[in-house]
Amino acid sequence: MRMSHPEDEDDGALFRSAIGEVKPLRKVETSAITRPRPRPRARMAEQDEAQALGEFARLLHSSAPLEAGDVASYRRDTLTAHMFQRLKRGQYSVQDELDLHGAGVAQAEQLLREFLLDAHAHDHGCVRIIHGKGLQSDGGAPVLKNLVDRLLRQRNDVLAFHSAPPAQGGTGAVLVLLARR
């Protein structure tokens, strides 16, 4: 059994004996530290938003934008007229839905792309995208409605889309028919 010494009782003394002799650090001037650092900004997000707005503006000017009450409609040549009529009437079962209300342009585009990838991965045949009518959009043209219209037209996995029947959202939503895997 080990006998304890009075020195062993003092933790501070044990610590000082274990680390040995120390040298004090030089003093740091405090005048260089007094200026506050600038608040962080999400510069990349701001750049992405500006770029998305620029691309969206280019798309809007390439063709006449949809107005709040306009029907959004598109059909690939490979889709039969009968299937398109069923889509227009809302006769397909909606398997998933995305609501874009309150989203900015860049966020809405990202959400829409992710939603369509997920719908394709789950082999959904028909989905609904709620974009709103755009009655509160600045400048008159409904921003999200036109974004959805332009983006869906560019996608190979979209066979057709049409504004939903009044009971399913009317011109504030679109039903989208997707190609199977």
Domain locations in the chain as residue ranges: 43-178
Beta-carbon count within 10 A of 111 CB = 15
How far apart (Å, rounded) are the C-alpha atoms in residues 7 and 20?
Answer: 15
Give residue 1's pLDDT: 45
Record the pTM: 0.64
Higher pLDDT, 128 or 103: 128
Could you read off the pLDDT of 92-124 as tens digits, one per residue?
999 999 999 888 888 999 999 999 999 999 999
Where does 43-178 sit in CATH, by number?
A: 3.30.1370.110
How far apart (Å, rounded) are the C-alpha atoms in residues 147 and 106?
Answer: 10
Backbone torsions φ then ψ of 94, nearest 5 degrees = -80, 125
Are the beta carbons of 128 and 168 closer than 8 angstroms?
yes
How far apart, in Å, are the Cα atoms of 134 and each of 35, 47, 116, 126, 153? 46, 24, 22, 23, 19
List the end-to-end C-alpha distance of the chain, in Å, as a whole number: 77
